[in-house]
Structure 1
């Protein structure tokens, strides 16, 4: 899935999604390593310099989303608010989404897309 398709998925998201978390991880530079042992599949997510057995919940966890923002849009200012409407802002990108975490990821991806267009 390319960057624009992922942005569109986040814009339409109705609930946090592990599938979307995996796609966000790949956009942030994570790698997925799967190995088989007998009938079991063991999946390990790798980020340069780290190895973890669990993929962060980027669309549910504010802490994980802040980690994503730091990777995808480093040194950018950000904010988020929630209540009846959930919004997040990364630099000039203001977005709405289902959770503060998903909104932060969406805003960071939009910054990444703009940077990619500039090059």
Structure 2
């Protein structure tokens, strides 16, 4: 039977813990990576969380695989990674992908608005 987006979201939400801004800030202060996975035009239009690293969702697999030349050294399997997107859906799916690739400490902050509403600062891209 084909898998639906609803199925994928349920699977992702079952394995990727949702956290709030306060929890994310503690992880970041302890060396975790805040990762914005939105598209570049979204960053241009709304800015990004202060201190966030950017990898578009469509490139994540290629940046996360340390066997590839395109690997992003900010992504390390032992490093906590806090993901966000516009509303949390892509962050959940991306989190599951990272977990499937061997990253264990992966968290879903939700959307940029969750960061802002929790007192997080933003910067223009």
TM range (shorter): under 0.3
> TM-score by structure 1 length?
0.27
Larger RCO (CA within 8 A; separation ≥ 6) = 2
Provide TM-score, normalisation by structure 2. 0.26
Q: Which has the higher strand share?
A: 1
Structure of higher CA gyration radius: 1
